[in-house]
Structure 1
Amino acid sequence: MTDDLLGRHRAVLPDWLALYYEEPIEITHGEGRHVWDAHGNRYLDFFGGILTTMTAHALPEVTKAVSEQAGRIIHSSTLYLNRPMVELAERIAQLSGIPDARVFFTTSGTEANDTALLLATAYRRSNTVLAMRNSYHGRSFSSVGITGNRGWSPTSLSPLQTLYVHGGVRTRGPYAALSDDDFIAACVDDLVDLLGHTRPPAALIAEPIQGVGGFTSPPDGLYAAFREVLHERGILWIADEVQTGWGRTGEHFWGWQAHGRSGPPDIMTFAKGIGNGMSIGGVVARSEIMNCLDANSISTFGGTQITMAAGLANLTYLLEHDLQGNARRVGGLLIERVRAAAAQVPAVREVRGRGLMIGLEITKPGTDEADPQAAAAVLEAAREGGLLIGKGGGHNTSSLRVAPPLSLNVAEAEEGAAILENALRSIQ
Structure 2
Amino acid sequence: MTGAAELHTRHRAVLPDWLALYYRDPIEITHGEGRHVWDAEGNRYLDFFGGVLTTMTAHALPEVVKAVSEQAERILHTSTLYLNRPMVELAERVAALSGIPDARVFFTTSGTEANETALLLATAYRGSNQVLAMRNSYHGRSFSTIGVTGNRSWSPTSLSPLHTLYVHGGDRGRGPYAGLDDAGFVAGCVEDLADMLGQARDGVAALIAEPVQGVGGFTAPPDGLYGAFREVLQQHGVLWISDEVQTGWGRTGDHFWGWQAHGQAGPPDVLTFAKGLGNGTSVGGVVARAEVMNCLEANSISTFGGSPVTMAAASANLTYLLEHDLQGNARRVGGLLLERLRAAAAGLGVVREVRGRGLMIGMDLVLPGTGTPAPEAASLVLEAARAGGVLLGKGGGHASGGVLRICPPMSLTVAEAEAGAAVVEEALRGAERELTGMHG
- Give ranges in structure 2 of 5+ residues lacking alignment: 433-440
- Give the Å deviation of 1:125: 0.2
Aligned to 2:380: 377
AA in 1 matched with 2:285? G
Aligned to 1:27: 29
Q: What SS does structure 2 have at the residue aligned with 1:181?
A: helix
2:193 aligned with 1:191 = yes
AA in 1 matched with 2:416? E
Aligned to 2:326: 323
Aligned to 1:168: 170
Aligned to 2:86: 84
Identity over the aligned pairs, expressed in percent? 77
Aligned to 2:225: 222
- Structure-2 separation of matches of 1:247 and 1:344: 32
Among candidates 45, 52, 66, match of residue 50 of structure 1: 52
2:243 aligned with 1:253 = no
- Give the Å deviation of 1:2: 2.3
Q: What SS does structure 2 have at the residue aligned with 1:53?
A: coil
CA deviation map 1:137-167 (0-9, x unaligned): 0000000000000000000000000000000
Aligned to 1:135: 137
Aligned to 1:123: 125
- Give the Å deviation of 1:366: 2.6
AA in 1 matched with 2:42? G
Among candidates 115, 124, 131, match of residue 113 of structure 1: 115
Q: What SS does structure 1 have at the residue aligned with 2:199?
A: coil
Q: What SS does structure 2 have at the residue aligned with 1:369?
A: coil
Aligned to 2:290: 287
CA deviation map 1:228-269 (0-9, x unaligned): 000111000000000000000000000000012111000000
CA deviation map 1:298-317 (0-9, x unaligned): 00000000000000000000
AA in 1 matched with 2:241? I
Q: What SS does structure 2 have at the residue aligned with 1:382?
A: helix
CA deviation map 1:156-179 (0-9, x unaligned): 000000000000000111110000
Q: Does structure 1 retain, via aligned residues, the 8 Å contact 2:132–2:204?
A: yes
2:418 aligned with 1:414 = yes
- Give the Å deviation of 1:343: 1.1
Q: What SS does structure 2 have at the residue aligned with 1:63?
A: helix
Aligned to 1:297: 300
Aligned to 2:239: 236
Give the TM-score of the pair, scaled to structure 2.
0.97
Q: What SS does structure 1 have at the residue aligned with 2:431?
A: coil
Q: What SS does structure 2 have at the residue aligned with 1:110?
A: helix
The worse-fitting range, judged by mean Cα deviation, of 361-370 and 201-210 is: 361-370
- Structure-1 separation of matches of 2:80 and 2:141: 24
CA deviation map 1:345-369 (0-9, x unaligned): 1110011110000000111123221
The worse-fitting range, judged by mean Cα deviation, of 223-232 and 1-10 is: 1-10
CA deviation map 1:357-416 (0-9, x unaligned): 000011112322111111100011100000001010013101010000000010000000
- Give the Å deviation of 1:195: 1.0
Q: Does structure 1 retain, via aligned residues, the 8 Å contact 2:136–2:170?
A: yes
Which residues in structure 2 correspond to 1:270-419 (within 5 Å)? 270-395=273-398, 396-419=400-423
Q: What SS does structure 2 have at the residue aligned with 1:426?
A: helix
Q: Does structure 1 retain, via aligned residues, the 8 Å contact 2:4–2:26?
A: no
- Give the Å deviation of 1:6: 0.6
- Structure-2 separation of matches of 1:135 and 1:50: 16
AA in 1 matched with 2:106? F
Q: What SS does structure 2 have at the residue aligned with 1:2?
A: helix
AA in 2 matched with 1:379? L
- Structure-2 separation of matches of 1:209 and 1:195: 23
AA in 2 matched with 1:17? L
- Give ranges in structure 1 of 5+ residues lacking alignment: none
Q: What SS does structure 2 have at the residue aligned with 1:121?
A: helix
Q: What SS does structure 2 have at the residue aligned with 1:264?
A: coil
- Structure-1 separation of matches of 2:240 and 2:109: 22
Give the TM-score of the pair, scaled to structure 1.
0.99
Q: What SS does structure 2 have at the residue aligned with 1:115?
A: helix
Large movers: runs of 4+ above 2 Å:
none
- Structure-2 separation of matches of 1:228 and 1:355: 27
- Structure-1 separation of matches of 2:101 and 2:392: 37
